[in-house]
Amino acid sequence: MKKAILIALVMMVTAMTANAQEKKTESKVKHLTYNEFLKKVWDFERNPTTFEYKGKLPAVIDFYADWCGPCRRVAPIMEKMAEDYEGRLLVYKVNVDQEKGLAAVFQAKSIPMVLFIPVKGMPYKQVGAMQEQNYKEVVEEHLLK
């Protein structure tokens, strides 16, 4: 009887942990690879001298690394912005260790580095972590007006 209760408890905890992990992976922030960047953001291989954004909504791109402390502090801010501005703003992430080509194109030597991209016009680059309110101010004033 005690074994059956113990087994049931273990199964219940395992199921709850799996559910929590599933919810955690339902991110609205999308990771970009080099090729996805060329398709969704800017094909700098075909048009290296003129920035032409391919998206229909403004975008924020967080260049980060898993080992970077300030990047880990910025990650939940990006998640929250993706939720708060859903349907009005795209939020992407680029792992500089996995996408060295993209990091080189944008000279992402200091991270976090966030690229703010309006639908029309040139992107704005911010190096270093900011407070959530500062990110939202840039989005509200420069991307959504």
DSSP string, 75-138: HHHHHHHHHHTTTT-EEEEEETTT-HHHHHHTT--SSSEEEEE-SSS--EEEES---HHHHHHH
Is 53 a known active-site residue? no
pLDDT at 3: 56
List average pLDDT for each run of 10 residues in the chain, which is 145 residues long: 50 49 69 97 94 96 97 97 97 98 94 97 96 97 94
Is 71 a known active-site residue? yes
Domain ranges of the chain: 28-143
Q: What is the DSSP letter of 49?
A: S
What would the CATH number be for the domain defined by 28-143? 3.40.30.10
Task: Indicate which residue of 60, 71, 102, 130 is catalytic.
Answer: 71
pTM of structure: 0.81
Task: Indicate which residue of 29, 41, 68, 114 is catalytic.
Answer: 68
Coil/strand/helix, residue 25: coil
Q: What is the DSSP letter of 9?
A: H
